């Protein structure tokens, strides 16, 4: 680790705030010039390290991966500039990766909680409604302040998406998590699941493809953010094509949700709903794609400063981790050009610094 790094270039301390003069001294940021000369000088536009608010380190297409696979996933994220990860459910125990020394800072949610035989095999702790509260308490105690529910999935009996659990059980489960000091987020595709989660007092909604204009005032008033996972939602047409022969109603529903994906994100932003960037990396999505997700939000209609905010300053504040502040960990990405004006610059970062250690 370089003892002193001078970041020589514009420093974006907020989407609309630019400063000059930032240093890392023994892995901590300071805006005061240190007496010692720098060991390294890094040039470019300086931002806080990206936060991926929906990522699955330790999860592969068939369930948990071994330590080597989890390590490769985390390093791929790190090299892409993801320096903070909110795990959104993993069947692997990744606590050994925590601390932010060799890997991104990791906030774990424990294991997904799903309805029995209503999710991908090997991914989740599967329970019936009567066991939901206890499962939530267990995962709340095992994680780092978050619990992940699978709010809906295909119900093969009706041939379409349906909520995983009755609303009363979800409400009790959310309250149980809050009693344990944890927040709850939920995978939600369908329209009716939005209503259920809002009624239950959920803290965040993942995917949110069923978001309708009538939901927006409640999301804004209740302060419930969404993590749209747009690069994962891009797989919906393929899912629909595979489902068509047996479940045509479900396939049509998934296509309709995909067709509105950009419109709903733009509507949510216009309504003041908080939006955070999440890749859903870990099963079919690669672990180096945070820039793709930020750019997908931009393509959906968010101004580029807002799309950056979804993975930088606002995302870090929401997760309780400092950005570019005096005394904060030196978790920094450096771009060649101003990313607000040249969005593509985030796909080819000049430098990535983790805790004062220059990764690239």
| Pair 161, 303 in one domain | yes
Q: How far apart are CA 149 and CA 212, in angstroms?
A: 21
| Pair 351, 250 in one domain | no
Q: Are 290 and 307 in contact (CB under 8 A)?
A: no
Q: How far apart are CA 22 and CA 156, in angstroms?
A: 56
| Pair 115, 255 in one domain | yes
Distance spanning both ends of the chain, measured CA to CA: 12
Least Cα distance to 100 among 76, 120, 83, 115 occurs for 83
Tens of pLDDT along the chain (360 residues) come to: 679 999 999 999 999 999 999 999 999 999 999 999 999 999 999 999 999 999 999 999 999 999 999 999 999 999 999 999 999 999 999 999 999 899 999 999 989 999 999 999 999 999 999 999 999 999 999 999 999 999 999 999 999 999 999 999 999 999 999 999 999 999 999 999 999 999 999 999 999 999 999 999 999 999 999 999 999 999 999 999 999 999 999 999 999 999 999 999 999 999 999 999 999 999 899 999 999 999 999 999 999 999 999 999 999 999 999 999 999 999 999 999 999 999 999 999 999 999 999 999
Counted domains in the chain:
2
pTM exceeds 0.85 for this model: yes
The residues that bridge with 39 in the sheet, in sequence order, are: none
At 1 the pLDDT is 67
| Pair 22, 75 in one domain | no
| Pair 193, 60 in one domain | yes
Q: What is the CA radius of gyration of the chain?
A: 20
- Which residues form the domain of 252? 50-319
| Pair 338, 247 in one domain | no
Residues in the chain: 360
| Pair 122, 254 in one domain | yes
At 2 the pLDDT is 75
| Pair 242, 328 in one domain | no
Q: How far apart are CA 120 and CA 38, in angstroms?
A: 50
| Pair 175, 223 in one domain | yes
Q: Are 187 and 111 in contact (CB under 8 A)?
A: no
CATH number at residue 231: 3.20.20.140
| Pair 54, 152 in one domain | yes
| Pair 84, 213 in one domain | yes
Least Cα distance to 331 among 343, 344, 319 occurs for 319
The DSSP secondary-structure symbol of 329 reads B
Tokens of 33: 């010039």
At 94 the pLDDT is 96
CATH number at residue 342: 2.30.40.10
Least Cα distance to 136 among 149, 145, 124, 123 occurs for 149
| Pair 168, 274 in one domain | yes
Place of tokens 């369930």: 63
């Amino acid at each position: 680790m370089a003892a002193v790094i001078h970041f020589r270039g514009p420093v974006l301390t907020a989407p609309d705030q630019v400063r000059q003069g930032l240093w890392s001294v023994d892995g901590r940021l300071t805006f005061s010039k240190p007496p010692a000369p720098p060991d390294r000088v890094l040039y470019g536009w300086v931002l806080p390290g990206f936060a991926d608010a929906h990522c699955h380190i330790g999860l592969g297409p068939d369930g948990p991966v071994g330590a080597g696979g989890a390590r490769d996933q985390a390093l791929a994220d790190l090299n892409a500039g993801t320096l903070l990860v909110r795990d959104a459910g993993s069947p692997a125990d990744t606590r050994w990766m925590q601390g932010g020394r060799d890997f991104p800072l990791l906030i774990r949610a424990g294991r997904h909680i799903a309805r029995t035989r209503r999710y991908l095999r090997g991914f989740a702790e599967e329970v019936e409604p009567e066991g939901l509260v206890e499962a939530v308490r267990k995962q709340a105690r095992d994680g780092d302040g978050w619990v992940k529910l699978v709010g809906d999935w295909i119900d093969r009996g009706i041939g379409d998406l349906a909520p995983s659990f009755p609303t009363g059980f979800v409400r009790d489960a959310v309250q149980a998590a809050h009693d344990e000091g944890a927040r709850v987020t939920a995978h939600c595709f369908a329209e009716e699941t939005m209503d259920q989660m809002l009624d239950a007092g959920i803290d965040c909604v993942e995917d949110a493809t069923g978001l309708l204009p009538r939901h927006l005032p409640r999301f804004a008033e209740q302060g419930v953010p969404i993590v749209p996972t747009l690069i994962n939602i891009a797989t919906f047409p393929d899912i629909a094509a595979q489902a068509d022969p047996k479940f045509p109603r479900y396939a049509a529903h998934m296509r309709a949700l995909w067709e509105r994906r950009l419109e709903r994100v733009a509507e949510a932003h216009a309504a003041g709903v908080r939006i955070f960037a999440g890749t859903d990396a870990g099963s079919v999505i690669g672990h180096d794609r945070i820039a793709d997700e930020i750019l997908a939000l931009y393509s959906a209609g968010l101004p580029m400063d807002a799309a950056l905010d979804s993975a930088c300053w606002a995302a870090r504040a929401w997760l309780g981790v400092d950005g570019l502040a005096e005394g904060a960990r030196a978790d920094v990405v450096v771009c060649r050009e101003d990313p607000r004006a040249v969005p593509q610059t985030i796909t080819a970062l000049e430098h990535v610094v983790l805790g004062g250690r220059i990764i690239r």
